Structure 1
Amino acid sequence: MISNPIRRYGAAILMLLTMAISGEVLAKTHEKTASHTAPAAKKIVSTKVSSKQEYSRNSVKSSPLPDLRKYPSGTPRKKAFLRTVMPYINSQNATITADRNWLISKQYDSRWSPSERTRLKEIAKSYKISWAGNTRRVPWNTLLERVDIIPGSMVATMAAAESGWGTSKLARNNNNLFGMKCVKGRCNNAPGKVKGYSNFESVKDSVNAYAVNLNTHPAYKSFRKSRAQLRKADQEVTASTMIHKLKGYSTQGQSYNNYLFAMYQDNQRLIASHM
């Protein structure tokens, strides 16, 4: 016959085991519940994307220009426009700067690897410079005059001026932010496109074409000469300086440059905050 103390001791052990098993079951139940609810909560948070994140994401994906007319005119629309275009402008200038720095590092180098020759050939072709492949006869002056940045604030100002902060029909239908006309015989007059003007698949393509245009077209030779002179004098290439050096972009002449400069001054802080 089992004594009362032993019986009470056994009951206590049984109770402890029952509590332990129950706790483990509850813990597993809680773990399973949490594993189902956590993603749902995360999903709800991730759907609340700000307009700034939205346009940053579109910029990275090289998307067409979004419809900025849904933003109120003034500062909200300007901010949305700058969030859209500035990543491309900065990326373009970063690429140009990398190529320029590489050219400077190779300028007095007598040894060239096959990959370096290939890179130089590609750069020369991109900037419409004739080079026969002889590393002892590289057109350094022409290369360094063309392979250089256009101040980001100047690019943003011109894009805003030419596209009405991204709301013009040309900008919306052609992704053309700079009013660039197409060459006769090469125009893509597809339905819905503005005829007589270049048509781009994305904002990035528009920004790239603008940079190539200013850095290669004979009409902007004086612009490139002025920039090269600033470099030789070890002076900074800024928007306030280079806007006045741009000639031939508009039939309005100097009045167009004055308009651009006034627009740049009015929006300088806003543009700088998106650089």
Structure 2
Amino acid sequence: MTTFSSLPVFQQVVAESGHRFDANRQWVASLTLGFGAHSNSNSNTSITRMNIARHYGPLRVQRPFYPEGPEGCCHVYILHPPGGLVSGDALNIDVNVTENAHTLLTTPAANKLYKADSNGVAWSQSTNLKVADGAILEWLPQETLAFDGSVGVQNFNIELAENAKCLGWEILCLGRPASELPFASGHLEQRFQLSRNDRPLWLERQALDPKHSRFNGKWGQGGTTVHATLWTVGLNDPMEAITALREHITATEHWAVTFRRGVLLLRYLGDERNQVWDLFQQARDILRPRLTGHQATVPRIWLT
């Protein structure tokens, strides 16, 4: 095993500054956001403001936008300038939405998970969302692209108060089929936990290993390259919402919807990024008015 003392002088200096050149190295970036509802002195309404924005490393946000009006939902874009995760990266995002605030978080582009280095060092990504009573959070990132040979773990935790509402999605695209570069090696793990008042409602762990029979088996993932989940919590009439989804979504295959323990889950298992993106936007058009009382507004960053 290579030790720091056997490294060239320049690499020793870098190592002593916190950058390692072995399997224990780690480059950390963190983002902590807080949103609160503030009363509007000119009316009896409130406006959601971003009152906490702390970062470490290459994670940032743009200034808040209010495309739905000054008293509408607060739109914020999360930026990761490197554009993707490499071996040793550790991204941590913490979001706290306090009482009666309404926030939408998205990203300007796809997140990329690059091939692991020669040591097979993993990356990690942790997202923690906390939503208080009367608050609404929409978590709508653009897709994640996993390159062949990527190794890492995604942890996703949502904590909801009794009367909190949340709508979100996660879209994972494996490999680069258009370039004939499939996801043929590597290992990804996704962990989801959603709880209300500290009571777990949705717990899930998905391991993605192209060498495992489940990856290509008809009883598993069937060799599909795009896996996605949309969730909604806080609907007044979830069964009516499911009926509306089944009646009005134009896609006829590759998706299914269910409702269990207070969580509506819409799943996609297929091979087309554009297909799932269109599916989820149709679903949001249907679900958002039922969840928030407002029509779905497309974030401007999606149109650029």
Q: Indicate the structure whose relative CO is greater, using CA pairs within 8 Å and at least 6 residues apart.
A: 1
Looking at CA atoms only, which structure, 1 or 2, has the larger radius of gyration?
1
Q: When you count strand as a share of all residues, which structure comes out higher?
A: 2
Q: Is this a same-fold pair by TM over 0.5?
A: no
| Interval containing the TM-score (normalised by the shorter chain) | under 0.3
Greater fraction of residues in helix = 1
- Structure 2 length-normalised TM: 0.24
For normalisation by structure 1, the TM-score amounts to: 0.26
